[in-house]
């Protein structure tokens, strides 16, 4: 598995032909690129580079990046590096257990389901935390949380964008997707890269990487949080509230508070 939060893999970095959208705030430059789904030839190259079959919908030229020229800091979120964090061994016992459970719940409806369960993590679950640019300052372990109260202030939004990196419907048995969104305020910004997986009748999983920047202090905080819960447990919680359960299960924003945290890390750095 590829290193997480490491360097740019420039050979897979999107072409500079499309400048995308950008904003500069207090020395920090935010760039987003949203281009169409990859065509056949780029998909073949991506498949060869990754060593696994890619998801159904790959937005391989899309990126979201935050850079600070004065300090050399830069972090980008891109499709290739995210998929390169997917388990390629197929040896994860947790994944194998879920694969078998999913197969057993669908075997009467979908013959040959074993063809879907590849010898790699077919859910494309990733713990991707972004890719640091060459020469960038490094994050260090921290206990300083993201200041949620500051983010609750009704500050004007100078820039907002959302970028899809990949998506797969898991043979019509759920959804797995990775997307990023960012909002820039006058004194700070917050980037969220979210992996969301719903495997019907089996499991719900959310893995969030948040990057918070305080323009005044130059502090950059990166928080990674992984949550998951059995599908039926979440379904019962939603049913007890009288909500439209199928609709709620399609939106990760409705589910994040219902899933227990299973892993969390905090890191920080300061730019000058």
Please report, for residues 49, 127, 224, the alpha-carbon distance to residue 3 in angstroms, rounded to integers and kept in the order given.
15, 11, 15
- The confidence score (pLDDT) of residue 8 equals 42
Q: Given pLDDT bands bounded at 50, 70 and 90, which one contains residue 52?
A: confident
Dist. CA 121–CA 90, nearest whole Å: 6
3-state secondary structure 156-171: CCCEEEEEEEEEECCC
- The confidence score (pLDDT) of residue 123 equals 87
- Beta bridge mates, 132: 7, 75
Say if residues 236 and 230 touch (Cβ distance below 8 Å): no
Q: Given pLDDT bands bounded at 50, 70 and 90, which one contains residue 83?
A: very high
What tens digit of pLDDT does each residue of 112-123 get?
Answer: 433 333 457 888
Kindly tell me if the per-residue pLDDT of 58 is higher than 70: yes
What tens digit of pLDDT does each residue of 134-174 get?
Answer: 999 999 999 999 999 999 999 999 999 999 999 999 878 89
The CA angle 1-77-7, to the nearest 5 degrees, is 55
Dist. CA 234–CA 250, nearest whole Å: 12
Kindly tell me if the per-residue pLDDT of 49 is higher than 70: yes
Across 14-33, average pLDDT: 81
Residues of the chain above pLDDT 90, percent: 73
């Amino acid at each position: 598995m590829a290193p997480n939060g490491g360097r740019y893999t420039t050979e897979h970095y999107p072409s500079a032909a499309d400048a995308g959208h950008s904003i500069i705030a207090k020395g920090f430059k935010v760039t987003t690129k949203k281009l169409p789904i990859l065509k056949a030839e780029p998909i073949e190259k991506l498949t060869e580079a990754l060593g696994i079959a890619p998801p159904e919908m790959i937005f391989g030229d899309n990126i979201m990046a935050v850079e600070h020229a004065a300090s050399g800091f830069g972090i980008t979120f891109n499709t290739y590096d995210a998929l390169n964090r997917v388990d390629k061994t197929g040896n994860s016992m947790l994944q194998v257990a879920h694969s078998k459970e999913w197969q057993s719940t669908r075997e009467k409806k979908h013959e040959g389901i074993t063809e879907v369960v590849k010898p790699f993590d077919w859910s494309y679950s990733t713990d991707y935390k972004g890719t640091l640019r060459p020469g960038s300052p490094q994050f260090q372990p921290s206990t300083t949380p993201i200041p949620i109260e500051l983010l609750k202030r009704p500050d004007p939004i100078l820039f907002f964008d959302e970028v899809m990196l990949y998506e797969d419907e898991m043979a019509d048995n759920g959804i797995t997707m990775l997307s990023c969104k960012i909002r820039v305020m006058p004194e700070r910004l917050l980037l969220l890269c979210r992996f969301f997986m719903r495997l019907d009748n089996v499991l719900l999983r959310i893995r969030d990487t948040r990057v918070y920047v305080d323009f005044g202090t130059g502090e950059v905080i990166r928080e990674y949080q992984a949550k998951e819960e059995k599908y039926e447990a979440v379904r019962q919680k939603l049913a007890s509230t009288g909500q439209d359960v199928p609709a709620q299960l399609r939106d990760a924003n409705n589910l994040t508070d219902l899933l227990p945290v299973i892993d969390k890390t905090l890191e920080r750095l300061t730019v000058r």
